[in-house]
Amino acid sequence: MTSTEIRELRNAPAMLPLFAKAVIRAGVKPGKAPALPDIGIRLRDVVLDSKHLATYRKVCAFPADGHLPVTYPHLHAHPLFMSLLLHEDFPFAAMGLVHVRNRITQYRRINEREQLDVECSFGELVQVEKGYEFSILTHVSTGGELVWESESTMFRRGGGSGGGQSRKTPPETTPAENFEEWKVPADAGRRYGAVSGDRNPIHLYPLTAKLFGFKRQIVHGMWSKARCLAALHGQLPDGAFTVDVQFKLPMFIPATVKFVQEDAADGIDFRLLAKDGVKPHLTGTIRSAG
């Protein structure tokens, strides 16, 4: 996208004003033919805060090994995400968007002392059966070397194409047998929100979640992905690899969940399941990017 207009920032945008703006723009309507603005945002020379990194590791259960956790660069991209979603030409309201998929490719391990350049831009917008899906692309480089990139796919309900095929009866599934059981506390959303800056009300308290139609607060999808990768930390490839996840059913917290991993011919498959060992909160794959 050589014609993309890239706006340079000197500092990361503050999250609280961005959320306030999101509330103001909650009534934005997409119109009959929504289109994404051809824009991007770049933040150069991001210096990592060791205390912030230590807190993130604690919240997500990553060990300290001198390198950034695979999901950590996403935190530096999140304020840029929000700035894109609040651009005056963005056709949807930021409130109500659902993160449905996330793919990260790490080309090499990133030393925690490296300075990073982070750039975010819009990908493709497509109309699906129940609404619209679009992606936000993130590229992280250091010294001109691309070291990390991601594609986050968002869903906006309404205005879909319809005409979907009739649903097939899902196959019967037996509960998982080989798993790790985790207890996810009620404050997990508040703790992750504090370190990530994503203080969306649906993640904080039962009352604030009910205002948006949830019976109680739900955990962040990117916390779930990070927690799974923390459990797999010692098994991640040494070279370039891609970790691709789909976010399924929301995880109402507090919760008891089951983490399942399986060796595949070309990598690792993993799932984060509800207490019954059947219903999925997240499914993912890890594959070499070589």
One domain, residues 161 and 194: no
Domain count across the chain: 2
pLDDT for the residue 2? 47
Domain boundary among 165, 198, 216: 165
One domain, residues 133 and 190: no
One domain, residues 200 and 290: yes
One domain, residues 142 and 208: no
Domain boundary among 137, 165, 193: 165
One domain, residues 5 and 122: yes
One domain, residues 152 and 179: no
Domain boundary among 108, 138, 165: 165
Q: Does residue 262 have a pLDDT over 70?
A: yes
User: Strand order in 39-46's β-sheet?
Assistant: 5-9, 39-46, 116-128, 131-142, 145-157, 98-106, 241-247, 280-288, 267-273, 255-264, 180-184
- Residue 241 maps to which CATH number? 3.10.129.10
One domain, residues 208 and 143: no
One domain, residues 135 and 246: no
One domain, residues 126 and 182: no
Summarised one tens digit per residue, pLDDT across range 90-149 is 999 888 788 999 999 999 999 999 999 999 999 999 999 988 999 999 999 999 999 999
One domain, residues 227 and 211: yes
One domain, residues 179 and 156: no
Q: Where in the sequence is the domain holding 205, given as residue range(s)?
A: 170-290
3-state secondary structure of 2: coil
Whether the predicted model's global pTM rises above the 0.95 cut: no
Summarised one tens digit per residue, pLDDT across range 136-189 is 999 999 999 999 999 999 998 887 777 655 455 465 578 888 899 999 999 999
pLDDT for the residue 55? 98
